[in-house]
Amino acid sequence: MAFLAEVPRVIAFALSAMAATLRSREALADTAEQALSLTRRCLVPVALVVGPVGAMLAMQSLSLTRMFGVERLLAPLLAATVVRELAPGFSAVMICFQAGAGIAAELGTMRVQEEIDALDVMGLDPRAMVAGPRILGAAITGPILNAVAMLIGIFSAYFAAVHLFDMPQGMFEQTMWDGITITDLWISELKAIVFGLLIGSVSATFGFFTTGGPAGVGRAANRTVVATVILVLFTNYLLNTAVYGATGGGVL
Amino acid sequence: MSTVSLLVKERLLDPVLEVLSTALFGFRALVVALRFPYPGDVIALLSRLLITSIPVVMAVAFAAGAMLTVQAAASLSLIGGGPFSGTIVGLGGVREVFPLLAAAAVAARTGAEFASALGAMRVSQQIDALEVMGIDPFRLLVAPRVWACVLGTPFCVVVSNTTGIVGSFLVGVLQLGIDRGSMWQHLMMSVHIGDLTTGVFKGAILGFLIGVVATREGFETTGGSKGVGRATNRAVVRSMIAVCLASLMLTYVIYGKQVLG
């Protein structure tokens, strides 16, 4: 894997960019702006992906729980799956697709149009001005989108189960909270912050060091998407094992 | 124009027009692809798709299979847990999660590549040059790429199913300590041959959507290297959204009656 060779560079660049950003007042203002713009760009894609997936999950698990005659377990299982896995996982994948590729493309364009070199020549630190705010912005966007994804995922699962497949409404509403605790919600948000930070770091680094004209910009965006998606899914697995233990922690 | 009508245009009218123009593009791509299949280009693009996408598909499906198994075992601890996670992976994973993730991986790897390649050709005016020479770029560039996606994605779905099941088995046995025979039996018991062929069929449809959305975004690129980045970005996001919505519709059509029982 060629990506593994990039790990030291990503870590070194992302840390120095974030440190440079935290020292500068203007860069912090840029960070807020970036967070807002990334959230706005990702909101609709996240909703359009998590919604269908939640409904699909409800449909398939309903056929499974009806097979075993344990329809009562459906709502807690759905809620637990959405909060623990689906919302952080899919919102992170959509951040990779939308924000990750976007950041890489933006920074790549600045690089090939020599805007970054121009900043350098003027004695301004391009890491603090363009890279750092995007990394930190992605870390702020992660938990916001995750919260939205949790709401949408549970609501669309509820809608599919109750309104399309005749599950008793009261049963869903009363048992739903058995599957999740407030701690689960916080863990989910924490995961989203980590994912945002990872996506921001990788995409900013890949974009910042783009070479080779317009085709190079496309290539940087492409590499970013692939690397971040794989990174997010494996980190998700490692984080789950670390938090819930090797057996995943019982839901009920 | 007033703010309200501007907002309506931006938020409502433009997305609808984009969807319609993509549908039109897809229809044209379908017709051209059926009329002029260039086997040489298709084979070259297809093998590139397989070589570049399959490692991504495998990584994603392995992680998803592992995650699904641990989560399912935790969820089902009340009714015996353990081996039943095999049933969940065999059923839900093979029907939904693995095909969807295979399509996502193809969109991320190959869709983005097609969009950035065509976008770079557009902004460096190579596509205009083809048109000037009287060569239909649709025939030469779009049709083989759509073909490659339609043929390659089903194969990626098969790989994804296999890797996901292997990942689930390994995690079940090595991490959760489930009995090897029991885990395998539960996995195999719940995989129906019908689900596998449905997955292949689904893969072809999702592949068509990825091919059309990606080539369309690349084909309609404007605005220099910035535009190429934007086209790549849009291609991935839009094909992912199309894949998710199509996947939901297919699930509803195929399995909807079964759930109501």
For A8, half-sphere exposure in the C-beta direction (CA atoms, 13 angstrom radius) is 1
Q: What is the pLDDT of residues B67-121, one digit of tens each?
A: 888 888 887 776 666 778 888 888 888 888 899 999 999 999 999 999 999 999 9
pLDDT of residue A2: 67
Contact A170, A162 (CB under 8 A): no
Position A250 confidence tier, pLDDT thresholds 50, 70, 90: low
Vertex B155: Cα angle to B154 and B160 (nearest 5): 95
Contact A146, A189 (CB under 8 A): yes
Position A65 confidence tier, pLDDT thresholds 50, 70, 90: confident
Say how far apart CA A98 and CA A92 lie, in whole Å.
10
Q: Is the pLDDT of residue A252 over 60?
A: no
The shortest CB-CB distance from A113 to any of B92, B105, B225 is to: B225
pLDDT of residue B76: 75
Q: Give Cα separations from B151 to B36, B236, B243, B247 (angstroms).
A: 16, 19, 16, 18
pLDDT of residue B54: 93
Distance from the Cα of A117 to chain B's closest Cα (Å) equals 17
For A26, half-sphere exposure in the C-beta direction (CA atoms, 13 angstrom radius) is 7
First to last CA, chain B: 53
**A–B interface: beta-carbon pairs under 8 A:** 210
Percentage of chain A exceeding pLDDT 90: 52
**Which of A43, A166, A225 to mutate: most B Cβ within 10 Å?**
A225
Residue A240's CB is within 10 A of a number of other CB atoms, namely 24
Q: Is the pLDDT of residue A149 over 70?
A: yes
Instruction: Give every CB contact of residue B210 below 8 A, 6+ residues apart in sequence.
Output: B103, B106, B107, B110, B111, B149, B153, B239, B242, B243
Ramachandran angles phi, psi of B135, nearest 5° = -100, 130
CB-based contact B261 A66, cutoff 8 Å? yes
Q: Which range, of A87-96, B75-84, B178-187, averages the lowest pLDDT?
A: B75-84
Range with the largest mean pLDDT of A17-31, A58-72, A184-198, A232-246: A184-198
Contact B218, B122 (CB under 8 A): yes
CB-based contact B228 A64, cutoff 8 Å? no
Distance of CA B182 to the CA centre of its chain: 32
Q: Which residues of B touch A105 (CB under 8 A)?
A: 226, 228-230, 232-233
Instruction: Give every CB contact of residue A100 below 8 A, 6+ residues apart in sequence.
Output: A138, A199, A200, A202, A203, A224, A225, A228
Alpha helices in chain A (DSSP H): 7-23, 25-68, 74-81, 87-95, 101-112, 115-121, 126, 132-158, 169-175, 182-208, 213-244
Instruction: Give every CB contact of residue B147 below 8 A, 6+ residues apart in sequence.
Output: B33, B37, B42, B45, B46, B211
In one-letter notation, the amino acid at residue B153 is T
Query: How high is the mean pLDDT of chain B?
Result: 88
Nearest CA among B186, B253, B238 for reference residue B23:
B238
The shortest CB-CB distance from B241 to any of A49, A64, A251 is to: A49
Contact A205, A6 (CB under 8 A): yes
Q: Is the pLDDT of residue A19 over 80?
A: yes
Distance from the Cα of B178 to chain A's closest Cα (Å) equals 11
Q: What is the pLDDT of residues B58-68, one digit of tens each?
A: 999 999 898 88
CB-based contact B67 A104, cutoff 8 Å? no
Whole-complex ipTM: 0.84
pLDDT of residue B52: 92
B228: closest chain A residue by CA: A218
Distance of CA B221 to the CA centre of its chain: 22
Q: Is the pLDDT of residue A184 over 60?
A: yes
Position A243 confidence tier, pLDDT thresholds 50, 70, 90: confident
Say how far apart CA B204 and CA B210 lie, in whole Å.
10
Instruction: Give every CB contact of residue A66 below 8 A, 6+ residues apart in sequence.
Output: B259, B261
Distance from the Cα of A166 to chain B's closest Cα (Å) equals 8
Position B258 confidence tier, pLDDT thresholds 50, 70, 90: confident
CB-based contact B77 A250, cutoff 8 Å? yes
